[in-house]
Chains A and B, each alone.
Chain A
């Protein structure tokens, strides 16, 4: 009998998808971008488990909504995430969050120790990505890779056009494609980790 059926209070969670016993460590990548840009889609493309979601509470004073009433109420912000086991002993977590720092500060330690950040961009709404990129550049030194999510029917732009439009720091990789496909999503991760390694090597050489 599983634990859910034997739980009198009815509080047992859905059957958990545990990691293999060989997994002894974890790393994480942040997947950031404006609402609706495809963060959860990318995470689901790679994840070995169905995408999970968790919420944190913030007071509305910090997100600037409900100013009409002047009342301080509580709002929640959701974070979707998934995981993939790589090399047999490492769990790679992908945490999706809106790019603004006030959101990811909600999850204590979310950015600390991350391998890097996949920044999702929708070419129909490049302006929405400016604040996300500004926040990342101002507040973190995490390696970035920009992922242009090619929505069906969206105008195609060359990588150079996107790089110029977003005024990306030199050397920031840009990949593009439909992130509903696993190969494309895995390629984005591979590009980010390779970039993180290059950045590390450059820093070591400069030191």
Chain B
């Protein structure tokens, strides 16, 4: 069934995250930029295939929402996976700002950037 953006499907998210529905950190937003840390370390043997795919996908910088779209998983689920990988040092945050609102200077730069598109 697909009606105006709704579609029914079974939930499997909590299985993939070991039963957890919340990430270990709450600073990850859909636009948070992520990048794989390329230091030659291997993921622990218990890591799942989604963790492996996530790290392969983030060999260049992407936002959390983009990773979720490429992995075909919900953002909330990928936030849990990404949090674990950040905690383990396999993934790094690329964007540093965690302010509630973008500051004036940033807005001015965005405006200039848009005007020169």
Question: Which residues from chain A sit less than 8 Å from chain B, CB to CB?
Answer: 3, 7, 9, 11-14, 16-21, 23-28, 35-36, 52-57, 63, 65, 73-79, 81, 83-88, 90-93, 95, 98, 106-110, 112-113, 115, 186, 189-190, 193-194, 196-197, 200-201
Contact = CB atoms under 8 A, between A and B. Distances in A.
Interface string B56-67: 111111110110
| A interface: dominant SS | mixed
7 contacts: A7-B56, A65-B6, A86-B117, A90-B110, A108-B75, A115-B102, A193-B114
A91 B33 contact: yes
B66 A190 contact: no
Given A108-B76, A190-B115, A200-B104, A28 B33 contact: no
A27 B49 contact: no
A13 B70 contact: yes
B33 A25 contact: yes
A73 B66 CA distance: 27
B20 interface: no
B83 to A, nearest CB: 12
Interface in B24-48: 26, 28-33
A57 B30 CA distance: 16
Contact of B56 (A12, A53, A74, A90): A12
B49 A109 contact: no
Contacts of A77: 5-6
B61 A19 contact: yes
Given A74-B11, A93-B63, A113-B101, A54 B69 contact: yes
Of B9, B69, B79, which is in contact with the most chain A CB atoms at under 10 Å from its CB?
B69
